[in-house]
Amino acid sequence: MTIDDLVLTIRPDLTDGALNELFTAAWPDHRKTAFEPLLARSLTWVALHRGGRLVGYVNVVGDGGAHAFVLDTTVHPDEQRAGLGVRLVRAAAAEARMLGAHWLHVDYEPELESFYARCGFRPTAAGLMRL
């Protein structure tokens, strides 16, 4: 999909450098990460590039069955508030469905509830344990 020089791709080759650059721009507390082992365990991931630069990313992991989980939805700060995050998550949901998932889960902070509602999620009760 190409819109205004924006390219959405499913499971593209991504370098640690490109992902770390995006995460450093978007997440102030980000520490350099080796992403290759994480992607190797993922069900799928979706990326957005503009002019060859990674500007958006979302990862989906699965349980090997009906459940999949959205992780690391990230859009470069220069590109936020333009619907790119919603586009990423919806593409990830469609791909997860195609790969056999029946349920897509996401955890988020309260201020992101409206964003994930626009993506198609509804709030549910869940539990969380910090390890």
Domain harbouring 92, CATH code: 3.40.630.30
Residue 82: HSE in the Cβ half-sphere, 13 Å Cα cutoff? 14
Residue 104 lies in a domain: yes
* Residue ranges making up the domain that contains 101: 2-119
Its pTM stands at 0.91
Residue 100 lies in a domain: yes
Please report, in tens digits, the pLDDT of each residue of the chain (131 residues total): 445 789 999 999 999 999 999 999 999 999 999 999 999 999 999 999 999 999 999 999 999 999 999 999 999 999 999 999 999 999 999 999 999 999 999 999 999 999 999 999 998 888 877 88
The confidence score (pLDDT) of residue 62 equals: 95
**Strand-strand pairing, 103-105 and 67-75:** parallel
- Number of domains into which the chain is organized: 1
Residue 8 lies in a domain: yes
Q: What is the chain's alpha carbon radius of gyration, rounded to the nearest angstrom?
A: 14
Rounded to whole angstroms, the Cα distance separating 46 from 31 reads 21
Residue 129 lies in a domain: no
Residue 131 lies in a domain: no
Residue 61 lies in a domain: yes
Cα–Cα–Cα angle for 99, 93, 130, rounded to 5 degrees: 100
The confidence score (pLDDT) of residue 127 equals: 82
